[in-house]
Structure 1
Amino acid sequence: MKRFFGALLIGLVSLAEIAEANTIRIKDLVEFDGVRGNDLVGYGLVVGLDGTGDGIRNSPFTEEIMSNILERLGVNVTGEQFRPKNVAAVFVTGVLPPFSRAGSKIDVTVSAIGDAKSLLGGTLVMTPLTAPDGEIYAVAQGTIIAGGISASGDGAEVVQGVPTAGVIPSGARVEREVDFNFSKLQSIRLALREPDFTTAQRVEDAINRKFGRGVSRMLDAGTVLLDIKSTRTASPAHALGIVENLTVTPERKARVVVDQRSGTVVLGEDVRISRVAVSQGNLTLRIEEKPMVVQPNPFAEGQTVIVPRTRAGIEEEPGIGLAEVDGGTSLSEVISGLNALGVSPRDMIDILKSIKAAGALHAEFVVR
């Protein structure tokens, strides 16, 4: 009897661990309305390149921005012609995180827009970053860490990675804060990243259960409204600090995702296949051209001609015959049934398409 209860206890603990592993924090499932980043962009100049910059003749905008920067520094270059190869015009992009304060730093990405070959070793000159409203929110400057390298000679060139783009960690300093009074919010919406009525209902139930009263309400499949005042917390920040760490078990649509370029197939946990028979084979068409040169006899009249010679053939492999795939009630059974066909991943993609067309694949089929 003791052994029985011991085994039962172990089984219950294992089930509890599995259930706990399937729960996800609310902060990983939703976006809080108003708590978002803001995209920034700027147009600047990179200097200090080792002869891999823009060709001024092909990129006149590089000369223009370089002249503007020098004139702001008190250097008069009006009417001068210069053709440096160590500068490049770039776009600088970044994201201003929510609640960023003046003086904090953010990462930026630098990308060449001219015919520069590499930004490796370059330094970005002070570049203002603006938001869609036209206001300057940050200023970027610093040494670029390029993500690739290139080498070339007279007869060959080698490029690894993308040397015309790079990043500057903590390369921009925030100069202006976004005007948003978060502490005055009376309610806030939780937007699900994957809208689903069941998941939204579970989020609502988890929040109400935590506070012991109805402080949240599901509006639709993708939105849950949280009443900050009803939570009786000190501020909206305190309320969200409690809510975001609550865990729920999300529901997912049955989905099959196929990447035709790499031959990758991903099946969701809820994918099901009805009982179906599958036959698959390969058909190969071969055409070979072997032209033959025909010349006249020595000292005879005539001319040399090329006579076309074509060989065409069709080869058909026997394939797998007609194989039966039993209806799968779990993901492991579906995988076992498909693996029994013994085909390559790319052939599996075609088989899954055909099974979907036959109405036996009960899942959303996504092709990328």
Structure 2
Amino acid sequence: MMTAVSPAHAERIKDLANIQGVRDNQLIGYGLVVGLEGTGDQTTQTPFTLQTTISMLQTMGVTLPPGSFTTMQLKNIAAVMVTTTLPAFAQSGQTLDVTVSSMANAKSIKGGTLLMTPLKGADGNTYAIAQGNLVVAGAGASANGSSTLINQLSVGRISAGATVERTIPNNIAQLEFINLELKESDFSTAMSTVKEINKAFGQDIAFARDARVISVRPNNTDGNRVGFLAALESLNVNRAKGSAKVIINARTGSIVLNQSVTLDKCAVAHGNLSVVISTAPVVSQPNAFANGRTVESKVSQISINQDPGNVIQLGGGTSLSDVVRALNAVGATPQDLLAILQAIKAAGSLRADLEII
């Protein structure tokens, strides 16, 4: 059963566009988790865990005797990747949540402690340092070859586990123009946004560079750039009606129609064809004095059933609710609707673009 959802047209600029240069940055680091209960990496299969441990011990002033590397058993240590997101305007000393993921063959990192791990950006510079005790939501147990597992034991999280050490400079307060980037390129939406900005601030301070970028010259004379941006983001804009689209997920059978989809009059015939093959064993048993042997064979029966396909006339629909009502009248499953929508589109009765993902 398909359901229509009523759209809302007026949206805030904050929901339609992003401010150019105000963005998050991904950070990543490689480190060690210690304190595991024998569920760490098997160093015979993951030599990088052993190498990292030796390097860490050397930085701590611990020198291992020659030849001891091959006999080390580090079942309580696991090599991990640490990831987080550095938000815009993050300052030194601010804390971030981090995700810790095992990268080798550790069975579990639950109960472990992440050692000090530098987190680097795409430019190779260190922007944060992570360390702390892991929280793993999963649980598992095993005995005598049987095991059970709930969620993942190889991924954990540390709340406020990283501290920002380096800030990313942002000169938005000194820019002559502030650029807004629409999340979806559309000339009509860009012009509507420009109109609302100029109307709200009483002068022509905004213009559209293209279908996505809108340049705004701040008109605040008091230097309060934050207040200007807050007022700018709160403006409501009537977003232009998007192009008609039908999104089809061929793997799951999901179908999504947007508000612009319309339907012309057409007729649809839909019927079900099923093929059933059943196989039953047949045993031939000779009598006791025939000196024969028992023979087993199989007998298969094939039946083809086809339900009658009724021709249904679909009336023209000028709204999404009309289209949904017409498609529900067909009485087909979502998988069948995939083929029906493609056939309606080929017949020229579906006023929308089909996009299969």
Unaligned runs of 5+ in 1: 1-17
Is the Cα–Cα contact under 8 Å of residues 118 and 149 in structure 1 kept in the other structure? no
**1:28 pairs with 2:15:** yes
Query: Secondary structure of 1:198's partner?
Result: helix
Deviations 1:192-242 (A, max 9, x none): 1111111111111111111111111111111111123x4545154343222
Aligned to 1:174: 164
Q: Please report how far the alpha carbon of residue 326 of structure 1 lies from its aligned counterpart in structure 2 after TM superposition.
A: 1.0
Q: Give the RMSD, CA atoms, in angstroms.
A: 2.5
Work out which structure has the larger RCO, using CA pairs closer than 8 Å and 6 or more positions apart in sequence: 2
Quick check: 39-48 or 77-86, which moved more? 77-86
The equivalent position to 2:325 in structure 1, one of 316, 331, 336, is 336
Name which of 81, 90, 94 aligns with 2:84. Answer: 94
More moved, 309-318 vs 214-223 = 309-318
* Alignment correspondent of 1:11: none
2-side partners of 1:114 and 1:308: how far apart? Answer: 50
Task: Verify the 8 A CA contact 1:185 1:236 in the aligned structure 2.
Answer: no
Which residue does the alignment assign to 1:145?
135
Percentage identity across paired residues of the two chains: 41
State the one-letter code of the partner of 1:172.
A
Corresponding residue for 1:58? 45
Cα distance change on mapping 1:217 and 1:137 into 2, 3 Å: same
Change (3 A) 1:24 1:158: same
Distance (whole Å) between structure 1 residues aligned to residue 202 and residue 11 of structure 2: 21
Contact kept, 8 Å, 1:275 with 1:325, in 2: the verdict is yes
Deviates more, 1:250-259 or 1:185-194: 250-259
Instruction: Tell me which protein shows more helix as a share of its residues.
Output: 1
**Maintained 8 Å contact 1:188/1:225:** yes
How far did residue 303 of structure 1 move? 6.5
Task: Name the SS for the 2:355 alignment partner.
Answer: strand
| Mapped contact 2:172–2:178 kept (Cα < 8 A) | no
Query: Aligned to 2:153, which of 139, 143, 163?
Result: 163
Distance in 2, matches of 1:337 and 1:256, equals 15
**2-structure distance, mates of 1:49, 1:23:** 53
Alignment CA distance shift 1:163-1:239 (3 Å): same
Answer with 129-138 or 66-75: which moved more: 66-75
Name the counterpart of 1:323.
312
SS at match of 2:109: coil
Give the structure 1 partner of residue 3 of structure 2. none
Consecutive unaligned residues of structure 2, counting only runs of 5 or more, are 1-5
Match of 1:356, as an amino acid? K
Q: Name the amino acid aligned to 1:132.
A: A
- State the 1:29 CA deviation: 1.1
Amino acid in the other structure paired with 1:272: T
- The answer (yes or no) to whether the contact 2:10–2:236 under 8 Å persists in 1 is yes
Change (3 A) 1:118 1:356: farther
Cα distance in 1 between the residues matched to 2:160 and 2:276 = 58
8 Å Cα contact 1:41/1:91 also seen in 2:
yes
Shift of residue 190, structure 1, vs aligned partner: 0.8
> Residue type of the partner of 1:24?
E
SS of aligned partner of 2:330: coil
Q: Which amino acid aligns with 1:160?
A: I
Cα 1:233–1:358 shift into 2, 3 Å: farther
2:349 pairs, out of 331, 335, 360, with 360
Counterpart residue identity of residue 179, structure 2: R
Shift in CA distance, 260/123, structure 1 to aligned 2, threshold 3 Å? farther
Q: What SS is found at the alignment partner of 1:49?
A: coil
Question: Larger deviation: 63-72 or 152-161?
Answer: 152-161
Residue 100 of structure 1 and its aligned partner are, at CA, apart by 0.7
Q: What is the rounded CA distance, in whole Å, between the counterparts of 1:192 and 1:233 in structure 2?
A: 28
Q: How does 1:95-244 map to 2 (within 5 A)?
A: 95-228=85-218, 230=219, 232=221, 234-244=223-233
Q: CA deviation at 1:365?
A: 2.5
Amino acid at match of 2:39: T
Q: Which residue of 1 aligns with 2:29?
A: 42
Greater mean alpha carbon deviation, residues 266-275 or residues 156-165:
156-165
Whether the aligned pair in 2 keeps the contact of 1:106 and 1:171 (CA below 8 Å) is yes
| Residues in 2 aligned to 1:275 and 1:52: alpha-carbon distance in whole angstroms | 65
